[in-house]
Each structure stands twice: as C-alpha cells, then as structure tokens.
Structure 1
Amino acid sequence: MTEATRSLLRSLPSLAGRAPLSDFGDLPSDPVTLFLEWLDLARASDVAEPHAMTLSTVDASGVPDARILLLKDVDARGWAFASTRNSAKGAQLESQPHAALTFWWQPLARSVRVRGSVVEASREESLADLRARSAAAQEGVAPDDWTLWRVEPTRVEFWQGAPDRHHVRIVYLRDGDGWRIED
C-alpha cells in the first residue's frame, strides 16, 4: 500500500451517520424484539434496503465466504434467508451448517450481528417463499432446489457507533430456552 492510499483512507469520514439518541437501560428480554425496533427505525429513517444483510459461511476447508442477501423473516425460530440449494452457499451450509449475518445501517451508525446454527425450513415454507417472488425472479429456478434457511442464533450483538469511539454493544447470548444480556 502506498502512502497516498493510506492517507486517502485515513482522510475519509467514518461513523458519520446520525447516531440516534437511545436509552439502553430498559432492554427487551429477547433479541428479536430489539431487532424489529431497530429495523423499524431504519425503515423510518429511509435507510436503503434495511433488510439487506451479509451472510457469512465457511466452505468445507474452513475458508470464509460472504455475500449480500435479503432477510425473508425473523421470529423466535430465527432469521430467515433463501437461495438455491445447488449454489455455493447451499453447498457450504450443507457441509458446515453455521453462519453469521451482519446488518449495517450506515446512516444510523448501527449494526446487528447474528450467529448460530443454520436449519432448513420445511419444504412448504421454501415453496411459499419461492412463490412470493416475482415471476421474473422465479424464472429458471427449480422449485425443489429453492430453499429457505434459518439462522438459529446463539449470539446476537447490537452495535451503536459513536464518532468519539465510545460505541455501545448489547450482546444477547442464548441461555437454555431464553436469553441473557452480556454485561
């Protein structure tokens, strides 16, 4: 890397979003509730495609891979996304059924990270998701190849950035059938 490149990168603004004023004292008992609150704020703040997320997986050799997908659903069962089973991500999930999701809402200087095991939804749910796509998006997709997966989280981190670098992290850890918030 040249000195010019280093200087350029250091000169770029960082964490320039409008960090919302937040009271983190009264947190919900589960991460889904907080995620939906943050997603609603992202939508209300006109964040472009607030349901876009980075899906990170590893291949059979343990080499990481990442790509952008859209969140299809989130509930107590987990965070859902879909693709074809015969894709690289499908093969990776078959051999290593664990993943991480990362949401980045730059205008709000907020991020949410979700990680856990990945399970396939029922065939009916996968087909319903495929049918919900536009005709153009369904074209060329074999119905038996389309798969809806869910990340069943063991850890969910909510991150609020701050220009002074005093970031706030709220971490939910799976604790039996419930959640505990890490101090």
Structure 2
Amino acid sequence: MTDDVRRRLAAIPALTGTPPTLDLERLPAEPTALFLDWLEDAVTAGVPEPRTTTLATADADGIPDARLLILKDVGERGWAFASTASSRKGEQLADNPAAALSFWWQPLTRAVRVRGRAVEGTPEESAADLAARSPQAQSLVADGDWRLWWVRPDRIEFWQGSPDRKHLRIVYTRTDDTWSREILTADGS
C-alpha cells in the first residue's frame, strides 16, 4: 500500500503557481512592510482567504499543535490573532508563550513563516476585538474569556517557490529592536 500511496502523491502536481517578480535590490529593511506587500499581492491575485494562517503552539510537554485562524492585525507590536483563553491554544500559550504563524498563498507560490513570543493584548484590545465579532460569535464566548494575542516575531521567513526548485528565502532576524536580513537561494548565491 505504501508504494501505491507514494506513487499517487508523486503524481499530484506541486508548485503550480506563478510567483510575481521580486526585486531583491528593493527589499525593505524590516519585514512588516514586505509582509504587507505580499499580502496585498495575494489579495490582488484573488487568493482565497489570504489572511488565514496556521498557528502552531506547543503544550506543556512540548508536543506541537497547529490550527487555522484569522490574522487580526500586523504592525510594530507584531502579528495579532484572537481566541478564548480557555481553548487548547489559550492554555498552551499560558504554559508556553512561543508561537509560529504560517501563511500559504498557493497561486503565487509564496509562503511566510513568523516565529516568536506570543504576548496577550490589553483587556481593552481583547474587548474591542470581541465587540467587532458578530452577535452570534460573541454569544459563544464566556464572560472575560476572549483574548487578543500578539506574536512578537524574532524570525520571519519569506519563501518564494519556483517550479525548477530554485526557491528563494528572505530571512529577517530580530536582535533587540533591530532587524537583519539574509537572502538565501537554492543555488547558494
């Protein structure tokens, strides 16, 4: 059965999108601007649900967990998402505030990975986010249970795939409040 599955998987096309042109000479010094540009490219290209992201956390035993959710904001404080504190993700973040977000925009063969520490937003931010949800969604949340979290990234990787497997990675790394950038290509240049 494994050989059949392996052959079937190998027959499914991969990296079928068309990446936009990327001018490596004009990359911003910090990653937020590049993320917002890539997000706008995804919106313009008609990528379905471009602000949907996979959030990865780990439980107290270090076992990873991942689920889809909606990006709420991006800015100097980081990348924001929200949920209930009593959810599995909320409990995991309370035990271990490390988090990663992963975006995949297939038609553009682009992905973004954001990794860092998750910090709870203020009670006012959480309340405002909950108030912006539909009355039906609000009714499903216990009093005082809604939280907005900010992933304060220490590493962000922008990946642009290529059918010839000469993928491009742009990696931003934070030291204190300063970003450094490295461009990695499949051919080592």
Is the structural similarity TM-score above 0.5? yes
Q: Which runs of 5+ in 1 are unaligned?
A: none
Match in the other structure for 1:65: 65
For residues 9-67 of structure 1, what are the alpha-carbon distances to aligned partners after superposition, in whole Å with 9 as ceiling and x for unaligned?
00110000111121122110110000000000000000000000000000000000000
Q: CA separation in 2, counterparts of 1:15 and 1:21? A: 16
Q: Report the secondary structure of 1:25's partner residue.
A: helix
Q: In the comparison of the two structures, how many residue pairs are matched?
A: 183
RMSD of aligned residue pairs (Cα, Å)? 0.9
Structure 1: distance between partners of 2:176 and 2:135: 42
Give the match for residue 90 of structure 1: 90
CA distance in 2, matches of 1:44, 1:71: 18
Structure 2 match to 1:28: 28
Contact 1:127/1:143 (CA < 8 Å) preserved in 2? no
- The residue identity in structure 2 corresponding to 1:70 is I
Q: State the alpha-carbon separation in 1 of the partners of residues 68 and 80 from structure 2.
A: 13
Q: Aligned residue for 2:135?
A: 135
Could you tell me how far 1:73 is from its partner in structure 2? 0.2
Equivalent residues of 1:130, 1:143 under 8 A apart: no
CA distance, structure 2, for counterparts of residue 77 and residue 143 of structure 1 = 26
Report percent identity of matched pairs. Answer: 57
Segments of structure 2 that go 5 or more residues without pairing to the other structure are 184-189
Instruction: Tell me the residue number matched to 1:100.
Output: 100
Tell me, in whole angstroms, the C-alpha distance in 2 between the residues paired with 1:92 and 1:25.
40
Q: CA deviation at 1:119?
A: 0.3
